[in-house]
Amino acid sequence: MRTLPKRQSMTLIPARITVDGSGDTDEVGILIDGAIRPGTGPEQKLISRSDGRVLAVVRSAGPTDVRTAYQVAAEAAPAWGATGPAARAEVLHRAAELFRERATELAPIISADMGKPASEATVEVAKGAAVLDYYAELGYRRLGTTYRTDFDEDIFTIVEPLGVVALITPWNFPFTIPIRKLSAALAAGNAVVFKPSTNAGITGLMIAVTLLDAGLPPGLVQTAIGRSSVIEEALLSAPELDGVSLTGSYEAAVAIRSRLRMEVPFQAELGGKNTIVVWADADLAKAVDIIAASSFRNNGQICTAAGRLLVHTDVYDELLDMLSTKVRAMTDMSGPDELGILVSDREADRVEEYVSLAGDDARDVIRPEPGGWREGRVSPAVLVDPDTGPLTTEEIFGPVVTFEAVSDIDEAVAKANATAYGLTSGIVTSDVAVARRFWKGSHAGTVKVNSPLTGVPFHVPFEGYGHSGAGWAEGGESSLEFFTRTKTVYLRS
């Protein structure tokens, strides 16, 4: 095996996820059967988004590694499925404690992995720990129902885990999204083959080893960092595979669904082109704050972020002036208002290509004043009165939002629904009747009134319509429903 130079003292890579466990190299691998080992796939460099240095070289997974992962998981699944809720809860609660204890170690890794601001990364770890505690206690929920028939017969249902599930997660929330899926899958009694994004591979490994440190049996979480082009076939065609949960793009969901056996359940939380309506009676100062939190947080790299504003004509000019003032004063300052960095240069270029369309397709482009943004960072953009087309219908996934006028609620609903997506939408108004007309007409799985679109509590259902989702909702007990199946038993004396 090739030996890398001794690590610099400022490295973020914990020794326990390096391939030899010594900490002498920054070469990390994959997690199979409780051990970090070099994968048989190609080497990949993980580059820090904050300063461009090489964080680690990943010995990534190959198809044979994925086959081994499934075999190990299938062997471990039955015993965990037969384990009672108290034992599962003990492991999940202990994991939550460990993540809280390790937050100061994890937050810088998350920031370096994919560019999230340090303040956001710290909050993400805290939320993930709370998710673990929540699902730990859901093991004690009511399970099954009973029925009677005309034949002196008792019928009852029992809930069983699916078995071995694949979890495929993105880079934009590299801690909380995997934790949501892992917590629910493990609480329901499943074993997991976990494929985190390669842009968040170090975070994914840290999640997995911390679960093992909490006492999770080693066969229950296999972590395969690898290129989809290399391992996708092995990941999706395994005979042991009993379910797939994805957070990603519509295109990825289509490709995955086409490869799965018909009987394999599939859950997908996908992207969105999400709209906020600002009504004539809105508190405009509140509206500006809601827009900023909805469109620019995490540099717009949130599936629920607002990409379109529809503003009542009565307040159009005033709100545009107020929002323009706020945006022009923005900088990429450090601190709680830092917007972070787009996850890759490729993503940054893609977002800027959308903004460049506004030169011909919009009346104006509002961006911060020059000088407040470091090289390589994408500043927020408000695209004023764009033509109907890609800017108004496609997910940009960056700190970009369009600004358009509407004159009545029917027009607002029609424009908000004029996209293939249907994840979130919102309205700012004090008129409940107007809000009700909007939420009843909105083709979105989540509708918010007077609050930012970003931020979804982990204990409530979260479902996308159209190109924004497929299968079961995520969140709360909905996730447990996906990770289980129901058996009906007929009993005659």
CATH number of the domain encompassing residue 234: 3.40.605.10
Q: Say if residue 344 is in the same domain as residue 266.
A: no
Q: Say if residue 429 is in the same domain as residue 359.
A: yes
Is residue 326 within a helix (H) or strand (E), and if so which, with residue range? Answer: helix 316-328
Tokens of 145: 């129902």
Please state the domain count of the chain.
2
The catalytic residue among 124, 303, 347, 404 is 303
Rounded percentage of the chain residues whose pLDDT exceeds 90: 80
Residue 465 lies inside a defined structural domain of this protein: no
Q: Say if residue 264 is in the same domain as residue 313.
A: no
Check if the beta carbon of residue 276 is closer than 8 Å to that of residue 426. Answer: yes
Q: Can you give the pLDDT at residue 355? A: 95
- Among 144-158, 370-384, 388-402, 424-438, which stretch is predicted with the lowest mean pLDDT? 370-384
Q: Can you give the pLDDT at residue 51? A: 76
Q: Can you give the pLDDT at residue 10? A: 37
Residue 168 lies inside a defined structural domain of this protein: yes
Check if the beta carbon of residue 125 is closer than 8 Å to that of residue 107. Answer: yes
- Among 301-310, 328-337, 380-389, which stretch is predicted with the lowest mean pLDDT? 328-337
Judge whether residue 470 has pLDDT over 60: yes
Judge whether residue 173 has pLDDT over 70: yes
What range defines the domain where residue 429 resides?
Answer: 274-457
Q: Say if residue 260 is in the same domain as residue 291.
A: no
Q: Say if residue 37 is in the same domain as residue 84.
A: yes
Residue-wise pLDDT tens digits, 177-231: 999 999 999 999 999 999 999 989 999 999 999 999 999 999 999 999 999 999 9
Judge whether residue 9 has pLDDT over 50: no
Residue 464 lies inside a defined structural domain of this protein: no
CATH number of the domain encompassing residue 417: 3.40.309.10
Q: Say if residue 285 is in the same domain as residue 204.
A: no
Q: What is the mean pLDDT of residues 442-448?
A: 98
Q: How far apart are CA 253 and CA 246, in angstroms?
A: 7
75 an active-site residue?
no
DSSP per-residue string spanning 433-483 = HHHHHHHHH--SSEEEESS-SS---TTS-B--EETTEESSPBSHHHHHHHT
Q: What is the mean pLDDT of residues 262-284?
A: 97
Q: Can you give the pLDDT at residue 442? A: 98
Residue 118 lies inside a defined structural domain of this protein: yes
Q: Can you give the pLDDT at residue 403? A: 98
Mean pLDDT estimate for the chain: 92
**Which amino acid appears at position 50 of this protein?**
S
Residue-wise pLDDT tens digits, 342-375: 888 899 999 999 999 999 999 999 999 877 777 7
Judge whether residue 388 has pLDDT over 60: yes
Residue 55 lies inside a defined structural domain of this protein: yes
Residue 2 lies inside a defined structural domain of this protein: no
Alpha carbon dihedral 197, 203, 209, 211, in 10-degree steps, equals: -90
Q: What is the mean pLDDT of residues 219-244?
A: 97
Higher-scoring residue by pLDDT: 56, 6: 56
The catalytic residue among 27, 124, 269, 395 is 269
Q: What is the mean pLDDT of residues 328-345?
A: 74
Q: Can you give the pLDDT at residue 395? A: 96
Q: Say if residue 45 is in the same domain as residue 98.
A: yes
Q: Say if residue 334 is in the same domain as residue 309.
A: yes
Rounded percentage of the chain residues whose pLDDT exceeds 70: 95
Residue 9 lies inside a defined structural domain of this protein: no
Residue-wise pLDDT tens digits, 153-166: 999 999 999 999 99
Q: Say if residue 127 is in the same domain as residue 48.
A: yes
Q: Say if residue 176 is in the same domain as residue 232.
A: yes
Q: Can you give the pLDDT at residue 4? A: 33
Q: Say if residue 316 is in the same domain as residue 251.
A: no
Q: Say if residue 228 is in the same domain as residue 280.
A: no
Q: Can you give the pLDDT at residue 1? A: 30
Q: Please state, as a whole number, how many other Cβ atoms lie within 10 Å of the Cβ of residue 278.
A: 28
Residue 10 lies inside a defined structural domain of this protein: no
